[in-house]
Amino acid sequence: MTDLKPFLSDNAAAVHPKVWEAMRAADSPDNPYDGDALSAELDARFTALFGRECAGLWVATGTAANCLALGTMCAPHGAVVCHEEAHIEVDEGGAPGFFLHGAKLILVPGEGALLTPEGIAAAIDPIRDDVHQVQPHAVSITQASEYGRAYALPELEALGKFAATRGLGLHMDGARFANAAAGLSQDAGEAARAASGPVDSLAFGFIKNGGMGAEAVVLFDPDRAAEVRYRRKRAGHLQCKGRYLAAQVLAMLEDDLWLANAAHANAAAREVASGCGERLMHEVDANELFVRLSPAEREALRGDGFAFYDWGAEAARFVTAWNTAQEDAAALGKAIAAL
C-alpha cells in the first residue's frame, strides 16, 4: 500500500517518532498497572492543560474511553442522547449497551452531525416522565464531529447550560479532539479549553494523531476517577505494562505535540479543500473532507493513486493525518479541482 497517496483514514497512520522514543524510555522497570511514575503524572498534566482540576486515565481505545466515561453518568435504566450518526451509535459494535448494562441511546438528527440544545430538546421533551419510558441521563457530543465539524466555545457553553438545566451529564467523544482544538487556537491551553468548554468528561484521542494505543479519559469531576478505575479493570482495560501507555500520552502532551500534529493534518485538509469548491458537503473544521464526486470522478482519482473511501454513491471521504505529505495534499486538491 506504500505507493498510494493515503487519505483513507488517520486511524492506521504510523506512530510519531517522539512517541516511539518515549515508549522506549519507559522500558526500565517500574510498578505494574498504573502504579508507575508516568501514569502518576497524568492528572497533573491534564489539569495544567485544561486549567481546571481533572483526572486523566489512559485506556487503549476510544470506544473504551467513551464508554468508561459515560458509565459514570448514565445508569443502566437511563439513556445517553447522541447524534444519530455518532460513533457510539454507528461504529462501536454496541459497546455502550455493554458498558452501560443495557442503557439506551436516544438519537438526534442535526446538520454536520452536530447537536444543539434545540435539537436535543425536540428529542427528549416528548419523553413522558414515567417509568415506562427511558429517561435521558447524559448527552454525548463528538468533537470534531463525524463530518469534521467543530463546536465553537459558545456552542459548547450553550450545550453545557442546557445539560445542567436538565440534569444531564455532558460527555465529549474527542477521537479527533486535537483537530477540533487546532482549528480554534494555536495556544495549547486556549485550544484545549475552547474545544472542551464545560464538558464533564472527555475521551481525548491520541491514536489517530500519532499515538499507538493510548487515549485518555479526562474527568473534570475527579471524584469520578475511582469508579472509572474499577470499571477499567473490570473491562479488562487495565494493562499491566501501563507505563507504555502513559508514555504515549505524555509524549503527545510534551511541547504540545498533540496540537502540532493536528495542525499539520488540518493544514493538509485545508490544502485539499482549496481544490474542492462547491463540492464540499460540510465545512472543513478539522481533518476530514466529504466531497461530492461521481463514480467516474472517484475512479479517475484512484487511477491517479489516491486512496480514500466512498461516501455513499455520489461522494467520497478524505482524511488527512499528522504525517500526510504536503505534496500529496496539494496534488489531491489540484486533481479534484481539475475534474
DSSP letter for 166, please: H
Q: Which of residues 40-69 bind a copy of itself (CB under 8 A)?
A: 59-61, 63-65, 67
| Closer residue to a copy of itself, CB minimum distance, 74 or 191 | 74
Q: How many angstroms from the chain centroid is the CA of residue 170?
A: 15
Q: Does 103 bind a copy of itself (CB under 8 A)?
A: yes
Give the HSE-up count for residue 14: Cα atoms under 13 Å, Cβ half-sphere.
9
- DSSP class of residue 13 equals P
Instruction: Go through the chain and tell me how many residues it has.
Output: 339
Q: Measuring CA to CA, which residue among 8, 4, 9 is closest to residue 305? A: 4
Considering the rule CB under 8 A, would residue 244 count as an interface residue with a copy of itself? Answer: yes
Binder among 25, 48, 76, 302 for a copy of itself (CB under 8 A):
76
CB of 77 to a copy of itself, least distance (A): 5
d(CA 200, CA 220): 5
Q: Which of 154, 186, 230, 302 binds a copy of itself (CB under 8 A)?
A: 230
Query: Does residue 24 bind a copy of itself (CB under 8 A)?
Result: yes
For position 240 contacting a copy of itself by CB under 8 A, the verdict is yes
How far is C-alpha 296 from the geometric centre of its chain's CA atoms?
A: 32
Q: Is 222 a binder of a copy of itself (CB under 8 A)?
A: no
We find the least distance from the C-beta atom of residue 236 to a copy of itself, in angstroms, to be 3
**In the complex with a copy of itself, which residue's Cβ is closer, 79 or 180?**
79
Beta strands in the chain (DSSP E): 5-6, 55-59, 78-83, 104-108, 135-142, 169-174, 201-204, 215-219, 288-292, 306-307, 309-310, 315-319
Pick one of 235, 267, 300, 339: the residue that binds a copy of itself (CB under 8 A): 235
Instruction: Determine, following the binding rule CB under 8 A, whether residue 79 of this chain makes contact with a copy of itself.
Output: yes
Q: Does position 100 bind a copy of itself by CB under 8 A?
A: yes
- Contact region for a copy of itself (CB under 8 A) — 94-102, 176-184, 193-201, 276-284? 94-102
Determine if 241 is a binding residue for a copy of itself (CB under 8 A).
yes
Closer residue to a copy of itself, CB minimum distance, 66 or 266 = 66
d(CA 126, CA 174): 29
Beta carbon of residue 126, minimum distance to a copy of itself (angstroms, whole number): 10
CB-based contacts of 324: which residues, under 8 Å, 6+ apart?
A: 6, 7, 264, 265, 268
CA distance readout (Å), 147 to 85, 111, 143, 242, 317: 9, 9, 10, 33, 9
Compare residues 79 and 218 and give the one whose CB is closer to a copy of itself: 79
